[in-house]
Amino acid sequence: MSKNTSNKTPEENTAPEHASSERPVATHKLVWFPAKKNGWGWGKPCTWQGWLVMLIYLASIILFSVAIDPKVDLLPWSIAIGTSTLLLITMYVWKGDAPNWQWKTIDKKKRRLFK
């Protein structure tokens, strides 16, 4: 006869050890690009990852503009810039808030700046 040295019943001993240590599934999405407060689309990045994506995009635009002269080779330059922009928009959709129309009223003090 084997001795049961643990405080668990035989039914509890047959349960897998990882069952109690499973993490709950996170439903909160880490947002890199918040939705704009006024209008449609995304605003400035709110995390370092979002800023890194923006810097990589800016560097790719500069690199492609230096490497490919748009005055000479417009089509390859356009394809490179379009691909970079498409990748940026993909990151906005994947890691950003859902864009929606939002309108705020402008304070009377700030309206003077727009006249």
Please report the DSSP string for the chain in residue order: -----SSS-HHHHTS-GGGTTPPPPP-PPPPSBPBPSSBSSB-S--SHHHHHHHHHHHHHHHHHHHHS-TTT-HHHHHHHHHHHHHHHHHHHHHHBPPP--B--PPPHHHHGGG-
Pick from 4-13, 41-50, 73-82, 106-115 the range whose average pLDDT is largest: 73-82
pTM above 0.85, yes or no: no
> Is pLDDT larger for residue 92 or for residue 24?
92
The helix-helix angle for 74-95 and 48-67 (nearest 10°) equals 170
Q: How high is the mean pLDDT of the chain?
A: 76
Cβ-proximal residues to 87 (8 Å cutoff; 6+ apart), any chain: 57
User: How many residues belong to the chain?
Assistant: 115
CA nearest to 57, candidates 33, 80, 88, 82: 88
CA dihedral (69, 71, 72, 78) in degrees, to 10, reads 70
Q: For 6-24, what is the mean pLDDT?
A: 52
